[in-house]
Amino acid sequence: YVLDLARGVIGGANWLAAVDSLATLYERDGRIRDALVTRRAIVQRYPFLPQSWSGLAALELNRSGGDPERMPYIAGLFEQALERDPAHVPALGVLGALALQSGDRATAIAMLERARDAAPNTPQVLYNLSGAYMMDGRAPEALALAEQLVQLQPGNPDYQALLQGLRTEASGGAPR
């Protein structure tokens, strides 16, 4: 694969697509150090592209194991993506989820609503926003999003469970 990448780059192929593919391959193969080096090279060569930053941030998030001490650094990488594109859905979605996990519902809702506005049918954004609304006492909005999720992906058991749970809570605890 590396030889094919080198030939493609030398032959004038799009460097970003080729090296992003290589980084993804490293990630899938568990070669995290190689993936990090590659993602950092992408940021150095294409610092103006939001996906450069969010790709590195996503890798750092995956390898962090949820370590709270690494979250400010990781959030900063996603914020770099937002500086380049304020409607960058991957960054908005993750920053919203991180805010929700830390208990900052207002920031979570703001970020997730921006992500939904930019990409209205992104399941993970809708799922997290539904949860944020429920935590904020906005049950009708949470239920509407859960219904939208089930319409988008009717066979997804997580979305079915979310919808059933929200219906149960909305009816005062009695299953419907």
Q: 25-41, pLDDT tens digit by residue?
A: 999 999 999 999 999 99
CA angle 95, 120, 154 (to 5 degrees): 105
For residues 78 and 90, what is the distance between their CA atoms, to the nearest angstrom?
Answer: 8
User: Torsions phi, psi of 59, nearest 5?
Assistant: -65, -45
Q: Indicate the pLDDT class of residue 176, thresholds 50, 70 and 90.
A: very low
Residue 23 CA to residue 162 CA, distance in Å, equals 34
Which burial class, exposed, middle or buried, applies to 32 when counting CB atoms under 10 A from its CB (0-12, 13-18, 19+)? middle
In tens, the pLDDT along 50-76 reads 999 999 999 999 999 989 999 999 999
Residue spans of alpha helices (H) in 103-156 = 105-118, 123-135, 139-152
For residues 67 and 100, what is the distance between their CA atoms, to the nearest angstrom?
Answer: 16
Q: Where are the alpha helices (DSSP H) in 32-85?
A: 32-45, 50-64, 71-84
> pTM for the whole thing?
0.85
What distance, in Å, lies between the first and last C-alpha atoms of the chain? 54
Q: What is the pLDDT of residue 160?
A: 93
The confidence score (pLDDT) of residue 17 equals 80
Lookup: tokens for 138: 């906005």
Q: Is the pLDDT of residue 11 over 70?
A: no
71-125, pLDDT tens digit by residue?
A: 999 999 999 999 999 999 999 999 999 999 999 999 999 999 999 999 999 999 9
Return d(Cα 56, Cα 64) in angstroms, integer. Answer: 12
Number of continuous H segments (helices) and E segments (strands) in the chain: 10, 0
